[in-house]
Structure 1
Amino acid sequence: MNELFIGLMSGTSLDGMDAVLVSFGDSPQDIKMLGHSYVAYEDTLKKSLLGLHLPYTNELEDSLIAGNIMSQKAYQAIEALLKKTGTSSKDIKAIGFHGQTIRHQPQKGFTLQIGNPALLAELCHINVIADFRSRDVAAGGQGAPLVPAFHKEIFSHPTIHRAIVNIGGIANITILNPETSTSGFDSGPGNILLDHWSQTHLHKAFDEDGSWAREGQLIQTLLDAFFNDTYFEKTAPKSTGRDHFNEAWLNKHLQKSYSIQDIQRTLLELTALSIANAIKTHNANISEIYLCGGGALNSFLVERLKSLMPQVKIQLTDALGLSTQHVEAVAFAWLAKQTLFSKPGNLPQVTGAKGLRILGALYPT
């Protein structure tokens, strides 16, 4: 019997809220995305969310206000999705609401995703499941990445050694080796620094197709300085976010003599090379890589990945039946299903948690 869930995702890029309607059947591969919607964030909300990544006076109140606004945006996305697909809210088992990560410091024992799931449950009259990461952190884990458990469920192949690379604000990698247990980790910056530099100097949310970066020249000394960061030397389990890779991190490496376009080119190489290095370090025998997330639509970035790993077939997750832009949102629909049916949603070998855990908190309708 197929059951319907909604997944909501607002990523590190802070651009808006994705909502997907997903049908789950009896087998792991019996999964179908029935529709999607998207609600963009206004510049004022983006600015507020970005500011909340650093401490300041009255940040607690501002975070709660922003969380309420996010829940209202989520409601708008859900209403549009239900209307678009002709679905009744009564037919939805639960909503998986990721919220917006504003602090991620598992080494201090916490991760914080804001949003008001209680308000969303009141607005939608649907069960809402949120706060997926905290239980894993409480169990000694990183709380991220969580998507490898989902990747294992739907993208694994019995004989083919694959990697799934999600290039969002932060890039994360899932290694699907049929002969060993699934592994995964954050490799480093995905779009987060590229988008920041594009917004700062071109007043564009992102560098479409990497066209600006393509015309720049690689600054090797700057790239070497980036890779001196100890995060790249860490072994998994590991995760990161805007707490670490941010404007201040970038600025401390820059020199006035650097061209702004050459900096963009070098930032793109940082993303591509950190992904390629991580894959080569952890598993040299991967034969297939599937890309998802916003960075998968950056044609120059994809070209660089193919050039750095010529022996590997690199495609988009669309080839596996799931749209590149919606993998993460579908993953949180799946995580909601796991929680509702009291099944674990983490992989301890990925996050470093003490064991399998049921993730999230339920806000009943």
Structure 2
Amino acid sequence: MKNSTFCIGLMSGTSLDGLDICYVRFDDDTHFEILTAETIDYSTVWKQKLTDAFLFSAMDLCELDVEFGYFLGDQVKVFMQKNKINSVDFVSSHGQTIFHQPVKHFTLQIGNGAAIASRCHQKVVCDFRTQDVVLGGQGAPLVPIGDELLFSEYDACLNLGGFSNISMNRNNTRIAFDICPINIVLNYFATQLGSDYDKDGEFAKQGNVNQDLLNELNSIQFYQLSYPKSLGFEWVKNEFLTLVDKYEISWKDKLRTCVVHFATQINNIFTEYDINNVLITGGGVRNEFFINQLKELSNVEIIIPNNYLIDFKEALIFAFLGYRRVNNKINCLASVTGAISDHSSGIIYESFYRN
């Protein structure tokens, strides 16, 4: 199609569910079509490396940054060959978040852009968060610009990934923030029961709610903060899991209690912001027990879209962030992140491949 842009979005979340690859066409700033997409599962070795990376020395982390970039580039190349994709204007990569401490003005997503470009032979846009953080923002969430322009028909958009985050328009201004952890915690407990994740919430369903733990979780200070606010792996490890670990209860009881806690926190936001309908995407949608818990608590109309959007909305929107960046348009909203101004964020690596 004339004047259309074809690009590939890459998304790898904190829950390490896999690498999402999304091939999409943008006709303009409001119209798109996902042409094909898939999730590449991480090997046990890669999962371990990415899980342990925050403990690495500076030298080892620099090495992993390039190694992971090569991996991403190789996966793009295979994806293009398998799907006979010939037209790509650029690859847009989220990277893998290792550190995220906006209060201290730093964040790190590994997956070196030059390394990606060297393997897939395409222009690459990456590192979308750093500029926002040094401008005083949270560097997250970044998806709301896509929610604002591509999904404006919904009151709110809720993503259930490693963390749950919400985006909505209030008084002609887009606001968004992280609500609570979700899959990053549920997956961790499921691994203690011998599974990568709690399929359909079956483990949680077998547990019992520990009221004391639930009360303490609901009293966590983060939930009292006003937006903009965001969460990171360090917070989960040092605060959330440390709190849960004080309770000598079964893993299934911990799962059940956390499911109720997360549903409660999300419903609190629905109520506070008077939301009537919400588009829900992300891996957490597959957790039938969690979704049912949320529906029991809430009077909001919950809209679950087609499988492509459930699984690949974030990869789609990171492609959109790249689309806005290469056209030098705003892709990061100060109203969302708290930065000093709206801006166009991301580093561009031109393809240096020659036939």
**Fold shared, TM-score > 0.5 on shorter chain:** yes
After the TM superposition, which residues 190-229 of structure 1 pair with which residues of structure 2 at under 5 Å, given as runs?
190-200=182-192, 202-229=193-220
- 1:316 paired with 2:304, answer yes
Task: Output the CA distance in 2 between the equivalents of 1:247 and 1:212.
Answer: 24
Q: The residue matched to 1:146 in structure 2 has which SS?
A: coil
Following TM superposition, by how much is the alpha carbon of 1:79 offset from its aligned partner in structure 2, in angstroms? 2.2
Separation in 2, partners of 1:256, 1:138: 39
Q: Which residue in 1 is equivalent to 2:59?
A: 61
SS in 2 for 1:92: coil
**Where has structure 1 moved over 6 Å in runs of 4 or more?**
none
Separation in 1 of the partners of 2:36 and 2:60?
A: 33
Q: TM-score, length-normalised on structure 2?
A: 0.94
Residues 17 and 73 of structure 1 are in contact (CA less than 8 Å); yes or no, is this contact kept in structure 2?
A: no
Conserved 8 A contact 2:69-2:110: no
* Structure 1 equivalent of residue 73 of structure 2: 75
Q: Is the 8 A contact 2:73 2:117 kept in 1?
A: no
Q: 1:280 aligns to what?
A: 271
Local SS of the residue matching 2:74: helix
Post-superposition offset of 1:39: 2.1
Give secondary structure in 2 for the equivalent of 1:244: helix
Match of 1:34 in 2: 35
Deviation at 1:231, TM superposition (A): 0.6
* Cα offset, 1:342, TM superposition: 0.4
Partner of 2:161: 168
Hey, what's the Cα distance between the residues in 2 that align with 1:292 and 1:172? 10
Aligned equivalent of 1:13, options 9, 15, 20 = 15
Aligned partners of 1:113 and 1:131 also within 8 Å:
yes
| CA apart distance, 1:264 | 0.8
- How much has 1:298 moved relative to structure 2? 0.5
Matched residue SS, 1:252:
helix
In the TM superposition, residue 8 of structure 1 has moved relative to its aligned partner by 0.4
Q: Which position in structure 1 is the counterpart of 2:148?
A: 152
Describe the superposition over 1:167-201 as per-residue Cα deviations: whole angstroms up to 9, x where unpaired. 11011101135x5312110001021111001012x
Q: Which residue of 2 aligns with 1:47?
A: 48
The 3-state SS of whatever aligns with 2:136 is coil
Partner of 2:124: 128
Structure 1 residue aligned with 2:228 = 237
State the Cα deviation string for residues 2-54 of structure 1 (Å, max 9, x = none).
1101100110012321111110003x33200111133222222212221223x
Q: Report what 1:295 is aligned to.
A: 284
Q: How much does 1:123 deviate?
A: 1.1
Q: Equivalent pairs: percent with the same residue?
A: 33
Partners of 2:239 and 2:277 lie apart in 1 by: 36
Which ranges in structure 2 are unaligned for 5 or more consecutive residues? Answer: none
Question: Structure 1 stretches of 5 or more lacking a match?
Answer: none
Distance across 1 between alignment mates of 2:350 and 2:74: 19
Q: Secondary structure at the match of 1:12?
A: coil
Letter in 2 for 1:10: S
Shift of 1:322: 5.2
Counterpart CA distance in 2 for 1:214 and 1:264 is 8
Deviation digits for residues 176-229 of structure 1 (CA, Å, limit 9, x no counterpart): 35x5312110001021111001012x1211000101101211111101111222
Coordinate RMSD, CA, aligned: 1.7
Aligned length: 349
Shift of 1:76: 3.2
Q: Which moved more, 1:77-86 or 1:136-145?
A: 77-86
TM-score by length of 1: 0.91
Note if contact 1:225-1:253 (Cα within 8 Å) is conserved in structure 2: no
Q: Tell me, what secondary structure is at the counterpart of 1:129?
A: strand
The answer (yes or no) to whether the contact 1:99–1:115 under 8 Å persists in 2 is: yes
Deviations 1:232-286 (A, max 9, x none): 11010001111101276313333454222111101111221121112322x12x2
CA contact (8 A) 1:67 1:116 kept: yes
| 1:133-177 Cα distance to aligned partner (Å, 9 max, x none) | 0111111110000001111111102xxx61111011011101135
